[in-house]
Structure 1
Amino acid sequence: MENLFKTNPYNILIQPDESDEFLLFNTLTGGIEILDQEEGFLMAELQTLACFDGATRAENPGFFERMLAKEYLIRQEVDIVAFFESHTDKTQFKKAGIINLTIGTTITCNMGCAYCFEFVKPNHTLKDLRVKEQIPRYIEQIIRNDKMNHIHTLSVTWYGGEPLINVAAITDLSVGLLALAEKYKLEYAANIITNGIYLTPENIQKLVDYRVNSVQVTIDGARDVHDRKRPLKQKNAENYFRILRNLAGIPKSIDVNVRVNVDKEVAASVETMLDDFHVWGLWPQKYEHFHFDPAWLRSYEEISLTEDEKDTRMFVDEFFEFKQKFRLSLTERFNAWSQITGNRKARLKWDLPSYQSTCATWASPISLVVDPNGNIHKCWETIHDDTKAPSTVFDAYDPEIYASYSSFNRYNHNVVCRNCKYLPVCDKISCSYDALKNSVPQCTEWKYKAEHYIGQQYVMMRDTPEKIGVPQAADAVNTGHSNK
């Protein structure tokens, strides 16, 4: 019987405004193709058919073979959704080989951010010597349980609250964790999520000494906006400029990710914020290890917003428009600086939906979050709630304890989502905890904005190719972790 074919269910066919060409994007592979008008019309026709036979292949051999090789066309018998459902169940983090260890050195924070998920902040700090000694022992149990020697990396995230309030826990625990990595010949990587206030020269040196190679700091716009949205509990204490001064002291061996939680007020102040970064010699001067990560400011159901706060929130259209303007501003500022310094000019990279991996902290039986009392959690967002901890570091390690977490599968967790072409890039189910908590599935903003936003970037490339490069597939990520 002759082979039958069909279009990939994760194809998105886009015809940008005032264009004879089409864009073909696949949310599963991340692949993107530019099709001429004839090819675009043919693909549009094929997507209306349940399947088609080899006659189409014979009539358009070059196009057909190209689309088949890149999986925009697939054989009719292939059930991609069922395949990935099964594949995820069988292989999800079983052989990933990375222990993702998040340690909350304290739940206490020196800031009082209104939007923070830590609406309940118990006064817990990791000081108990028994807990400090037991954490490396528990990790060693995980390593010894790995009979097939798949584990190759120990990745540590220092978390809070504000983790640098308890820098002693970082130094004490790093000694044992680094010794463990050396003993079992594991790669070691560490990062910290901090508000930046305590990134003093002394603390930065400790981070360097204990192999922390990445820092995430949240700065919500310029001083007036940032200091109001991320206020220090200590009255009249320097905030915004203190953080910038601290960031200026970070060496090149540490990458800095500047998180910006965006609402209308933050968006209106980012140009001033970028001016300040330039004055402090942070960006673009240190572009090789300073990066910006704008995020649409989310709200937690446990937090009641005032009417004024509601008015400052952005709709999805506004945030996508902001992202494009912000990216353009960064490029223009970089190029103006490059013209003076002789650096090579930059072009925008395409901003495309990224394949969303399942949260390893939740699903991997060798990944965990440890709170200051030694309780083990499977999500960053439950670190303040002892009742959500399935085990402790004082219990014997047993992967079966975490079986219900490891069984999470984004391809079958909700029947509504199962046949959505945006399922592979849906960041609303990247946080397994939130996905399971929501009885009504939340949809990714890409579902409503991808066609327009991708088409907008194509028009920019067509009309001003000096501003933006050619599209490339986006790397897989997980964006399930929340505002910090």
Structure 2
Amino acid sequence: MQLLKSSPYNVLIPVDDREEFLIFNTLTGGIEILNAEEGKLMSEISCLPYFQKEVYTDHLLLLEYLFSKEYIIDSEKNMIEIFEKNSNDYQFKNAGTIYLTIGTTISCNMGCSYCFEFVKPNHTLKDDKVKKQTIIYIDEIIRKAEQKIHTLSITWYGGEPLLNVKAIEDMSVGLIELAKKHNLIYNAKIITNGIYLTETNVQKLIDNKVQLMQVTIDGARAIHDKKRPLKQKNAKNYYRILENLSQIPEGINVLVRINVDNEVADSTPDMLDDFQSFGIWPDKYKQFSFDPAWLRSYEEITLNEEEKDNRMHVDAFFDFKQNFRLNLLERFNRWANQNQVKAAKLKWDLPSYQSTCATWASPISLVVDPNGFIHKCWETIHDDKQAPSSVFDAYDPNIFAKYSAFNRYSHNDVCRNCKYLPVCDKISCSYEAIKNTVPQCTEWKYKTESYIREQYLRMINNPESINAPTAAAAVNTGHSNK
């Protein structure tokens, strides 16, 4: 008879109010409702090293169903081996997308304390040789890659990339032609502080197939202008960005990044008021979305006491994110009711399967700095010494072998047997994971049970406010603070 065991990635959640259990699997993203008897059975099974389903004659159909959904697995199944396979299939080693980040400049018009302002190289991509050779290098990757390439994905980065919009124009022509030559899907985005999103520059971005802008706004005006000061004294900052955003035409989407500490968190209601008064959101809800990010500290930066006090613990940030979601829903539906727009519902927020950073792990993905040096992480773009190669070298995937060898599943013995390993976002940035001897645990480790239970009860008691859950696609949340 077949020996079975409970998946080590099951999270069993009692819902005492309803005499039920929820079972969530961090590996598959699946979630099911169990009655009290079924929940107690799964609790018992999870304590056993193995079992035979035939012993549980009254629950054979349930066990067969749970086996089909991988809440129960074969007792001989080696999950680490599965992770190793996932590492090859899903961490971009065998994927067909070239993720190319191009730093048009290291210079910036802002002096944000949490960015790499502790180093200020004055490098800007002006040399036509670097521009042309970068395209030649990508062409060489496409021709030499072991896997079939189907997508060329560009990120325009800095510093502030729009300080050098000419590089974006010049290189986009060659990159788009390259994609056509090899019949590749082409997409592009830009990470900008929003100051130079003038009508002219936005049209240039649209003309050059930039489909997404990530714009950072850290709270309402007083806080934002303190956190993200312009180097030009007395220049309009926060309101200039909002004015620019209010004039963005259709055809390009905007993700508003919010780097959250306690001060920023407290000011977000005023920030959302301003977004509405400028006609940005909810008015353009199909075009604009928000992405709160935990503001971590760089070891190179010495924080003063005020900054230390303002830093938010990851646990508090988790709570902020959930309250922010509710605030957005309430505001949207109040606006929708006044404007004959269909009311929105919350999407379930479940832990997502985390992939390794593509730029780091994939031998065909790279960051190119203004001098043509190749990096494997955005975090090192200001430091030539950390570049393993250059676009002026021949493409050789073996140069990047040590980066491709990184495996988030076997990287740290502390994490290896944790049931939250598949969804742990604290080791998603390979660069940070390698630097940290013992990585910080994901807040999901402490919040999953209560948070899933809360969403379930909301769905039962207030079904018009939240949709049914669906498993999320794999993501990578390793990059912050831009």
TM-score tier, shorter chain, comes to over 0.9
Task: Specify the alignment match of 2:230 in structure 1.
Answer: 232
1:49 maps onto 2:57 in alignment:
no
Q: Quick one: structure 1 residues 21 and 91, their matched pair in 2 at CA, closer, same or farther if it must change by over 3 Å?
A: closer
Task: Specify the alignment match of 2:27 in structure 1.
Answer: 28
Trace 1:36-435 onto structure 2 (pairs within 5 A).
Answer: 36-89=35-88, 92-146=91-145, 150-435=148-433
Give the letter for the 2:323 counterpart: K
Q: CA–CA distance in 2 between the matches of 1:425 and 1:117?
A: 28
Q: Quick one: structure 1 residues 18 and 310, their matched pair in 2 at CA, closer, same or farther if it must change by over 3 Å?
A: farther
Note the residue ranges of structure 1 that are not aligned, 5 or more in a row: none
What secondary structure, in the 3-state scheme, does the structure 1 residue paired with 2:232 have?
Answer: coil
Give the letter for the 2:444 counterpart: W
Q: CA–CA distance in 1 between the matches of 2:184 and 2:467?
A: 38
Give the letter for the 1:84 counterpart: F
Check whether the contact 1:16–1:452 (CA below 8 A) recurs between aligned residues: no
Q: CA–CA distance in 2 between the matches of 1:91 and 1:25?
A: 21
CA RMSD of aligned residues (A): 1.4
Task: Give the alignment partner of residue 447 of structure 1, picking from 432, 445, 448.
Answer: 445
Runs of 4+ in 1 over 4 A off after TM superposition: 89-92
**In the TM superposition, what is the alpha-carbon distance from 1:326 to its structure 2 partner?**
1.0
**In the TM superposition, what is the alpha-carbon distance from 1:230 to its structure 2 partner?**
0.7
Q: CA–CA distance in 1 between the matches of 2:146 and 2:407?
A: 25
Q: After superposition, what is the alpha-carbon deviation per residue over 1:382-405, rounded to whole angstroms, capped at 9, x for unaligned?
A: 001111100000000011111111
Check whether the contact 2:53–2:60 (CA below 8 A) recurs between aligned residues: no
Q: CA–CA distance in 2 between the matches of 1:31 and 1:258?
A: 30
Q: After superposition, what is the alpha-carbon deviation per residue over 1:407-435, rounded to whole angstroms, capped at 9, x for unaligned?
A: 11111111111111111111111111111
Task: Specify the alignment match of 2:4 in structure 1.
Answer: 5
Q: CA–CA distance in 1 between the matches of 2:27 and 2:460?
A: 25
What secondary structure, in the 3-state scheme, does the structure 2 residue paired with 1:270 have?
Answer: helix
What secondary structure, in the 3-state scheme, does the structure 1 residue paired with 2:479 have?
Answer: coil
Q: CA–CA distance in 2 between the matches of 1:428 and 1:383?
A: 21
What secondary structure, in the 3-state scheme, does the structure 1 residue paired with 2:280 have?
Answer: coil
Greater shift in the superposed pair: 444-453 or 123-132: 444-453
Greater shift in the superposed pair: 232-241 or 247-256: 247-256
Q: After superposition, what is the alpha-carbon deviation per residue over 1:164-211, rounded to whole angstroms, capped at 9, x for unaligned?
A: 001111001111111111111111000000000000001000000000
Q: Quick one: structure 1 residues 96 and 57, their matched pair in 2 at CA, closer, same or farther if it must change by over 3 Å?
A: farther
Check whether the contact 1:359–1:431 (CA below 8 A) recurs between aligned residues: yes
Task: Specify the alignment match of 2:14 in structure 1.
Answer: 15
**In the TM superposition, what is the alpha-carbon distance from 1:453 to its structure 2 partner?**
1.9
Greater shift in the superposed pair: 279-288 or 385-394: 279-288
Q: CA–CA distance in 1 between the matches of 2:41 and 2:333?
A: 41
Give the letter for the 1:223 counterpart: R
Q: Quick one: structure 1 residues 367 and 417, their matched pair in 2 at CA, closer, same or farther if it must change by over 3 Å?
A: same
Q: After superposition, what is the alpha-carbon deviation per residue over 1:267-305, rounded to whole angstroms, capped at 9, x for unaligned?
A: 111111111111111111111121101112111111111
**In the TM superposition, what is the alpha-carbon distance from 1:90 to its structure 2 partner?**
7.2
Q: After superposition, what is the alpha-carbon deviation per residue over 1:72-126, rounded to whole angstroms, capped at 9, x for unaligned?
A: 0111111112221244257742431101000000001111111124421211111
Q: Quick one: structure 1 residues 190 and 88, their matched pair in 2 at CA, closer, same or farther if it must change by over 3 Å?
A: same
Q: Quick one: structure 1 residues 68 and 279, their matched pair in 2 at CA, closer, same or farther if it must change by over 3 Å?
A: same
What secondary structure, in the 3-state scheme, does the structure 2 residue paired with 1:449 have?
Answer: helix
What secondary structure, in the 3-state scheme, does the structure 2 residue paired with 1:158 have?
Answer: strand
Give the letter for the 2:287 counterpart: H
Q: TM-score if structure 2 supplies the norm length?
A: 0.97
What secondary structure, in the 3-state scheme, does the structure 1 residue paired with 2:441 have?
Answer: coil
Give the letter for the 2:399 counterpart: I
Give the letter for the 1:28 counterpart: L
Q: CA–CA distance in 2 between the matches of 1:337 and 1:441?
A: 42
What secondary structure, in the 3-state scheme, does the structure 2 residue paired with 1:421 have?
Answer: coil
Q: After superposition, what is the alpha-carbon deviation per residue over 1:13-44, rounded to whole angstroms, capped at 9, x for unaligned?
A: 11246442212111111111122211111111
Task: Give the alignment partner of residue 476 of structure 1, picking from 464, 467, 474.
Answer: 474
Q: CA–CA distance in 1 between the matches of 2:126 and 2:56?
A: 68
What secondary structure, in the 3-state scheme, does the structure 1 residue paired with 2:456 have?
Answer: helix
**In the TM superposition, what is the alpha-carbon distance from 1:464 to its structure 2 partner?**
2.0
Q: CA–CA distance in 1 between the matches of 2:390 and 2:223?
A: 40
> Sequence identity of aligned pairs in percent?
66
Q: After superposition, what is the alpha-carbon deviation per residue over 1:199-237, rounded to whole angstroms, capped at 9, x for unaligned?
A: 000100000000000000011111111111111111110
Give the letter for the 2:427 counterpart: I
Greater shift in the superposed pair: 231-240 or 434-443: 434-443
Count of residues in Structure 1 that have an aligned counterpart in Structure 2: 482
Check whether the contact 2:151–2:186 (CA below 8 A) recurs between aligned residues: yes
Q: CA–CA distance in 2 between the matches of 1:449 and 1:456?
A: 11
**In the TM superposition, what is the alpha-carbon distance from 1:54 to its structure 2 partner?**
2.5
Q: CA–CA distance in 2 between the matches of 1:117 and 1:434?
A: 15
Check whether the contact 2:161–2:191 (CA below 8 A) recurs between aligned residues: yes
Check whether the contact 2:296–2:481 (CA below 8 A) recurs between aligned residues: yes
Give the letter for the 1:68 counterpart: F
What secondary structure, in the 3-state scheme, does the structure 1 residue paired with 2:105 have?
Answer: coil
Give the letter for the 1:319 counterpart: F
Greater shift in the superposed pair: 464-473 or 200-209: 464-473
Check whether the contact 1:214–1:254 (CA below 8 A) recurs between aligned residues: yes
Check whether the contact 1:124–1:373 (CA below 8 A) recurs between aligned residues: yes
Check whether the contact 1:320–1:453 (CA below 8 A) recurs between aligned residues: no
Q: CA–CA distance in 1 between the matches of 2:89 and 2:198?
A: 46
Check whether the contact 2:152–2:184 (CA below 8 A) recurs between aligned residues: yes
Q: Quick one: structure 1 residues 112 and 91, their matched pair in 2 at CA, closer, same or farther if it must change by over 3 Å?
A: closer
Q: CA–CA distance in 1 between the matches of 2:247 and 2:24?
A: 42
Check whether the contact 1:89–1:409 (CA below 8 A) recurs between aligned residues: no
What secondary structure, in the 3-state scheme, does the structure 1 residue paired with 2:346 have?
Answer: coil
Give the letter for the 1:454 counterpart: I
Greater shift in the superposed pair: 307-316 or 42-51: 307-316
**In the TM superposition, what is the alpha-carbon distance from 1:248 to its structure 2 partner?**
1.4
Q: TM-score if structure 1 supplies the norm length?
A: 0.97
What secondary structure, in the 3-state scheme, does the structure 2 residue paired with 1:277 have?
Answer: helix
Q: CA–CA distance in 2 between the matches of 1:119 and 1:394?
A: 28
Give the letter for the 1:258 counterpart: V
Q: Quick one: structure 1 residues 16 and 264, their matched pair in 2 at CA, closer, same or farther if it must change by over 3 Å?
A: farther
